[in-house]
Chain A
Amino acid sequence: MTRYAMAIDLDRCQGCRACMEACKVENNTTESVFWMYVFRLESGEYPDTKVSFLPRPCQHCDDAPCVKVCPVGARFKRDDGLVLTDYDRCIGCRYCELACPYGVNYFNWAKPQTRQYLDYDHPDIAAATGGFVPPYKNPDHDRLYGEEQRRTSGGGHMKGVVEKCTFCVHRIDKGLQPACVATCPVGALVFGDLDDERSGVATMVHDRTHFRLLEEAGTRPSVLYFGGAPPSTESREIETVKARI
């Protein structure tokens, strides 16, 4: 039985946000959308200030509020732990976004145009890319995944649907690590199967204590935080990414 989980080592994270960028490029998300987000937090008063960082992917909760509230079952939980969105079925009501205590959902408010961060209608882009029209699309994101055989991978597919972190379902399908995990320079992100005792996450669970975000909300997330401490009500965001489409 596979049970995917992500371990985040807050003693290592240095808040560089490489994971945010890797996720964007890999999943083709549009402007202002951050499936992976990293908080840069500060607390206390000078000179006793403390600085910490908190990566926040989708938590892929075992008791996911977003799954509970989806009126059409477009948001669902797989047996291996991933919480995914079928973008063929989503009606764009955005209830999942409101139900989520972690704020990981993003709605495509406009027709996704600047995917891969470029405006594909620009003639110079077409010329530069050898006239490959339609422009670059990661073919992985059009495939059906899982036993359920639904289209759940990638972002920026169409306007009017909600999308979020998929733990890079298209990459783990190929045996690769999620993009954020692969790029983290200090190995603060570890992904694997909790039920596989040789996996990195299982080892970390065995060796160290961990906490989960917003435990009191009862969502039972699959993202485990090691080291550091949960954000307190005194934590203030600094260097917020204020991107708003």
Chain B
Amino acid sequence: MRVTRRRFVQGAAAASAVVAGRRFLFGELGVVAEAVSPQATLSLVEDFVPTACWVGKQDCGMMARRIDGRVVKFEGLAANPSNRGTLCPKGQAQIVSIYDPNRVKAPLIRTNAKGVSGTWREASWDEALRLVADRVNEVRARNPKMVLWQKGRSKSEKLYDDAFVGALGCSKLGHGGYCSDAGYRALEYTIGLHGVQHPDMRHVNYLLAWGWNITNAGGNKFCWITWPQQLVEARDRGLKIVHIDPRLRSAGPFADMWLPIRPGTDLALALALCRELIELDYLDRPYLIKYTNAPYLVGEDGLFLRVGEGDEAVAAVWDPETAAPVAAGTFEYRGASYATAFTLFREHIAGSTPEWAAEITGLPAGDIARVAREFGENAMIGSVTVVDGIEIPHRPVAIMSYHMAQQELGFQALRAMTMVAMLVGAVGAVGGQLTDFTWKVHANYEAFATLKVGDPPYDFTLKNSKYFPINTGLPGIVAKVMVDPGRYGVEEIPEVAIVHMTNPVVAYPDRKTIMEGYDRFRFVAVISPWLSETADYYADVVLPAATIEKYEGPLSASDGYVDAVTVRIPPMEPLFQSRGEIDIYLDLTEAIGTLYGEGGYIDRINESLGLEGELALPLDVKPPVRDIFDHWAQTQGVEGVSYFAENGVLVKGAIPAAKKYGYAVEPPFAGAIHRLYGESLLVAQQAMRQKGAEEIYWQDYTPFPTWRRPTFDTSPSEYDLTLISFKQIEHKQSRSSFMPLLAELAPRARLDINPVTAAERGIAEGDPVWVESQNALSGETRRVRTWAAITAAIRPDTVGMPHHFGMWAHPVNEGQGPSPNEIAYTGEGYLCQTADQSFHVKVRVYPDTENT
């Protein structure tokens, strides 16, 4: 039946009468007057547009459902391999915050002094960008490196980290030092790949979930949906999981065995596992001999025996007597004594028995021995399988580890854990230990062969310094340097900061140090959809960023087995006066004067996106952002952004075995020899000592991972509990606790505490408690007040706090409680040797009797 205008009006009138009548009889008395508006019923058009999630890490594919152009719900995009049509609670909940009236509506310029809550005046984009450009140019004229671009999550590395930073010539700092970069450095050093550790999920049979927060957080490379999807399928196949973590809650029902390890002792456990594997002879000798430096001959000076001259010198592996490579043995050569690296390793860990590790880790020795044995058994050493027609060794055992690398011994712990996989030959095997989607060796592998230990003056990140020869680049260190550059041999500190999708004052430990650092910036511009706490206290200018209403990308949509790409397409116009970051950077570089021409932003975009020839953007025209992606899409073989608007994602096909598995790559492992023995670490240590660095910096630069008691653990005994922090699935770092739907699920901070521990302190469920931390080196103490959550799924000597709270700038944040970053410490004693943050600290917990 066609709805004619007259019929419609008649119907609407009739409907109104009926509705009014019904309402009178059966509804509230007050609503008789509320007529049914004809407009509201006339044009409700529904459509779906593909886009990508903004809240989390990995830009899950979404479909935005729109009614009359207004986005009303997000659902998963089925074709996207990384989330396959589903969304996590944050993905579902972000709809609220898009329309949040507390979003920054216009560019803001500060009107009061910094270091306290800000008062602002609204400004036009022109004025705000002009102000930022002027301040940036002032500093660029002297030294562009003194402009610092600080990012948290970069959802378009090519356009931000590469092109924008390149166009400005400025310094950049990421968040990796708080993420998992100690692990990245360890894997880059040991096997050359850029990542931490994950299993070949489709084929693994026995998995050590080492600090993997299965039910709440992502793992190596992926955010949260992709791994659990693969995990449950693996469980259907019969995958066994050993969960190594002070908290069981993170594994939920998926742990077949729980090793409740004491925080910070993972290195000891790994060494014990290695020792057991060697003891039980679970060794993949062909792999060790051919693809690692295990057979290299090491002299008494700790250096490799090299034959040949100068650049041609290679480390020697052969037994000079028999000219055959061996894994274990000691030899005499030219009057000097040499042992193979493997022999030295075996000696090094001879005392790392399960009993020894049990003492340190708090785990039963029997369990440690059992895990080692089962790991070795399940490794099926010697077996091969065929994938994509290639014969590849089959070792279905592996480790998943990620953020737990951020501890004082993290770098060496990850090396030791990698060695566990190396001993059985699982690295790069089918079902075994992977680190990245494809077996690409990172530049750091070569760079780490000769670690540069330079002389002052040092860069403000202390790169190549005697403090951190391997240096992830940590904002906490930079803050300490900015406060006391002389102490670190630094002469120039950054003056201008551009802060992109991160909230250092809340998200980076420790708050006091970070604030002291930000105090010293002469000018800070923050790009954020909401007024972040960093902006509140330290921004001179706040530029309102759009959330999902922008083009952004390219975004990976891979699941590790299938390669795919996508781009974020705005499902609606930006709200208020917000803009996408690419838009902002186009205008900002224009104002700065580095948009056009050679080496400008457009030029660098062409470079980083691979836009050549006809596809290159002209260097003298400011492109609409969509055009950039249109060009990029063509490099991917499709006609433009319209392809993505139609299909949501471009699936490029399966990642072939020849690219995925280290053994199958040509040459195997991309030619990188796996470093069982870290010779360059020893060399670096010698250089650090020679240049006068204190022991705390060089003590862990040892060729083999060596256990020592972590510094944090030396706090006085009344600080008898270890504080760890953890992630909740409901929240994403510091950008979600003010979202009402998520705040409803997880409304405030808490302290996870064991029932026995709580009872000893007279603490009941929900009681307010003080958590007081102590810095083992400086003696400083700090405390925060939170609420106890009693759970038997945590060690009695450990307590945990989620790290999503401690914010104040948004009304919803009120009463949410603190962040553990407020009582954490950064700097010496709370850092890994690679300038990665350690998140462990000793605390004492007691009921709050002061505020009843």
Contacts and interface: CB of A to CB of B under 8 A. Distances in A.
Contact of A129 (B99, B755, B793): B99
B249 interface: yes
B270 interface: no
Interface in A18-47: 18, 20-22, 24-26, 31-32, 42, 44-47
Given A25-B95, A186-B229, A242 B747 contact: yes
A32 B215 contact: no
Interface stretch (B252-260, B472-480, B770-778): B252-260
B253 A228 contact: yes
Nearest to A23: B92
B396 interface: no
**A contact face: mostly helix, strand, loop, or mixed:** loop
Given A46-B756, A49-B793, A185-B229, A25 B70 contact: no
A21 B253 CA distance: 22
B92 A21 contact: yes
B577 to A, nearest CB: 12
Contacts of B26: 88
A30 to B, nearest CB: 10
Nearest to B67: A136
B232 A12 contact: yes
A184 B86 contact: yes
Contacts of A179: 75
B63 to A, nearest CB: 11
B88 A51 contact: no
A117 B741 contact: yes
B89 A128 contact: no
B87 A241 contact: no
A113 interface: no
Interface in B251-290: 251-254, 258, 260
Nearest to A122: B101
A179 B72 CA distance: 14
A53 interface: yes
Nearest to A129: B70
Interface in A224-243: 228, 238-239, 241-243
A183 B73 contact: no
Interface residues of A, number: 59
Given A11-B253, A17-B729, A122-B101, A46 B745 contact: no
B346 to A, nearest CB: 32
Contacts of B575: 128
Interface string A70-103: 0000000000000000001000000000000000
Contact of B252 (A52, A124, A138): A52
B793 A46 contact: yes
A163 to B, nearest CB: 15
B248 A158 contact: no
Given A138-B72, A241-B744, A185 B87 contact: yes
B660 interface: no
A200 interface: no
A136 to B, nearest CB: 5
B404 interface: no
B686 to A, nearest CB: 43
Contacts of B89: 16-18, 20-21
B96 A118 contact: yes
A182 B84 CA distance: 10
Given A21-B92, A44-B792, A158-B28, A16 B215 contact: yes
B792 A15 contact: no
A122 B745 CA distance: 23
Given A14-B228, A186-B228, 14 more contacts: A18-B87, A22-B87, A46-B792, A47-B260, A116-B95, A118-B99, A129-B70, A134-B40, A136-B72, A183-B92, A185-B224, A186-B229, A238-B791, A238-B793
21 contacts: A12-B235, A16-B224, A17-B730, A25-B92, A42-B791, A42-B793, A46-B260, A46-B792, A46-B794, A46-B796, A52-B253, A128-B575, A128-B576, A138-B72, A139-B44, A139-B67, A183-B76, A183-B91, A183-B92, A188-B232, A238-B789
